Amino acid sequence: MSAFLDVGQSLTGRVWRGPEDDLRRRAEALAQQTGHSEHVCLLLARQGVTADEAEGYLAPSLRNLMPDPSSLRDMDTAVAALTSAVRGGGRIAIFADYDVDGGASAALLIDWLRQMGHQATLYIPDRIDEGYGPNDTAMEMLAENHDLIICVDCGTLSHAPIAAAKARGAEVIVLDHHLGGETLPDCAAVVNPNRQDEITPLTYLCAAGVVFMALVAANRTLKADGARVPNLLPMLDLVALATVADVAPLLGLNRAFVRQGLTVMSHRQRVGLTALADVAGLKTAPAAYHLGFLLGPRVNAGGRIGAADLGARLLATEDPREAEALARRLDDLNGERRAIEAAVLEDAQAQAEARGAEGPLVWAAGEGWHPGVVGIVASRLKESFNRPAVVIGLENGIGKGSGRSVAGVDLGAAIATCTREGLLAKGGGHKMAAGLTVAQAQLEPAMARLAELLERQGAATEGPRDLSITGLLSCTAATADLISELETAGPFGAGVSAPRFALPAQRIAFAKRAGETHLRLSFRDATGSLDAIAFRAFDGPLGPALEAHGGRAFHLAGRLEIDDWGGRRKAKLRLEDAAPAD
């Protein structure tokens, strides 16, 4: 397959690849059958959508996509325990993970219980002192003062801590999505689409999606008894945030969650998210990109390097003043996180490049690397090399790390295999993200075995420097109307990448560094001009080359987005790559 626009090596060292002929033919046929534009039909064809499925795909609805929650194993038992505690005034504790998914899941339950006239205790473990998931000490403490403990976004592998809580008289239910082991904890219910005995197709849900389904079932049970129940639709903003931030594939039910959740969020009714959007400088209606790159990292910042419960408290609060204070604190912590991340990333990138990027796994490990940033650095490496990546912080002979995967490669399953084989002390997660603990002496053999398992899944088949291009555009064709049209095929994110366009032979009219690492520019061709921004361009060769363009023409590639600055709605390019055109 020849390189798109003959770009065999761009400024960032990548080969540009356009859509294959078969995909183009299917898109043309869809356009004829549906009446939608070829741009939209190319996105539909890429997802395998047929003409009969097109309208349902472009307008995903909960009514059509969400199955009966009772189809999930243990759901009815979990709901019976929850509703019984609510009816009987039972004392309820929520044990949640410290990331966005855990915080949003906890906030969903807190919000619902509050509307039912019930207060719940929130417990989120400290990442460094307690680590991921339930631990014996915390569960025993909660069991002393609570009748029901709900573990969200964790708990599926927590046999001993759950047994400790049960021994002290507390009932425990788990609402999770991480890969289950061969046996489940001995508790009232484990609702998890990724437990080994499940047959549901909903394996792509994040924990907040599972919690939302549990609340749908709880509402149904309570309404049957004549009770007034909360309206769940306004809670979809939390489900959307968690789905995108947890890198859950935007397929099936998740598309409806995120599409409708973004609409809810645009109304700015949840004071915590409103405050966070304001401190993040979000001036437009949110898109999935903003959830993943503006809001999600700030919610995560508390669990990474600050107080673990800050994010969940922000998402759950009804007090605007508290929301503003928490949002500012999280924004400050996010700035600190970025500084720590930059130092780790520099070392990790050097390690990864020294090992070579042609294999199925990119990994790096370092003494004293902060455990709160290793997941973000792994994500950066994954983006750079288009390979699953694992980054590990070492301390006292023990490594704690996080991994991020690429589409089509189940990292969680591979890490679970290494754990069963004894190469990892602990490990688990889901397809796109996972965590692990490893003895330093086992580091090299563990990573070698992990690479072998990932290679079997095809992790090394796509070139690490390939950049997928959807099509060509001129400056005048890049309009706000085109973006609105393309967004009908969204939301875009994991599993459904946003369209990326190439603009050929552009002349740069203006280029200037913005902040420490970003580049702002404007460019033109024979049809008109367009503005662009290239984030982190000066972290590599892209920024310096375009800043010193010298009047040369460049092919430019990136994703279109709306610029509402000054009240005028227009298109701009989020520039990702470039190549000399002459």
Residue-level pLDDT, tens digit, the chain, 582 residues: 689 999 999 999 889 999 999 999 999 999 999 999 999 999 999 999 999 999 999 999 999 999 999 999 999 999 999 999 999 999 999 999 999 999 999 999 999 999 999 999 999 999 888 888 999 999 999 999 999 999 999 999 999 999 999 999 999 999 999 999 899 999 999 999 999 999 999 999 999 999 999 999 999 999 999 999 999 999 999 999 999 999 899 999 999 999 999 999 999 999 999 999 999 999 888 999 999 999 999 999 988 887 899 999 999 999 999 999 999 999 999 999 989 999 999 999 999 989 887 889 999 999 999 988 999 999 999 988 888 999 999 999 999 999 999 888 999 999 999 999 999 998 988 888 899 999 999 999 999 999 999 999 988 776 556 889 999 999 999 999 999 999 999 999 888 989 999 999 999 999 999 988 999 999 999 999 999 999 989 988 999 999 999 999 999 999 999 887 666 789 999 999 999 998
Q: Burial letters for 159-172: b for 16+ Cβ neighbours within 10 Å, e otherwise?
A: bebbebbbeeebbb
Phi and psi angles of residue 183, each rounded to the nearest 5 degrees, phi first: -125, 160
**Dihedral, CA atoms, 572, 490, 314, 150, nearest 10 degrees?**
-160
CATH class of 64-330: alpha beta
Tokens of residue 169, six digits: 């008289």
Show the tokens assigned to 401: 């790390």
| Phi and psi, residue 418, nearest 5° | -60, -35
Measured in degrees and rounded to the nearest 5, phi and psi for residue 424 equal -115, 140
| CATH code, residues 356-456 | 3.10.310.30
Note the pLDDT of residue 349: 92
Cis amide linkage into residue 193, ω under 30° from 0: no
5: left (phi over 0), alpha (psi -120 to 50) or beta: left
* Residue spans per domain, the chain: 4-18+469-580, 20-58, 64-330, 356-456
Helix (H) or strand (E) holding 544: helix 542-547
Q: What is the DSSP string of 157-203?
A: T-HHHHHHHHHTT-EEEEE--SPP-SS--SSSEEE-TTSTT---S-T
Helix (H, G, I), strand (E, B) or coil at 571: strand
**pLDDT recorded at residue 568:** 78
pLDDT of residue 74: 98
Using DSSP, state whether 14 is helix, strand or coil: coil
Please tell me the predicted confidence (pLDDT) of residue 574.
96
* Coil vs helix vs strand at 427: strand
**CA 45 distance to own-chain centroid:** 24
Q: Which helix (H) or strand (E) holds 63?
A: helix 62-65
Confidence at residue 363, expressed as pLDDT on a 0 to 100 scale? 96
Residues linked to residue 322 through DSSP beta bridges, in sequence order: none
Q: What is the pLDDT of residue 462?
A: 64
User: What is the predicted pLDDT for the residue at 463?
Assistant: 59
Region of 368 please: left (phi>0), alpha (psi -120 to 50) or beta.
left
Residue 449 · residue 418 · CB < 8 Å: yes
Per CATH, the homologous superfamily of domain 4-18+469-580 is Nucleic acid-binding proteins (2.40.50.140)
Is the CB of residue 235 less than 8 Å from the CB of residue 88? no
**3-class secondary-structure state, position 318:** coil
Half-sphere exposure of 91 (CA within 13 A, CB side): 9
Distance separating alpha carbons of residues 404 and 424, to the nearest angstrom: 17
Residue (of 371, 336, 353, 360) closest to 408 by Cα position: 360
pLDDT for 465 equals 67
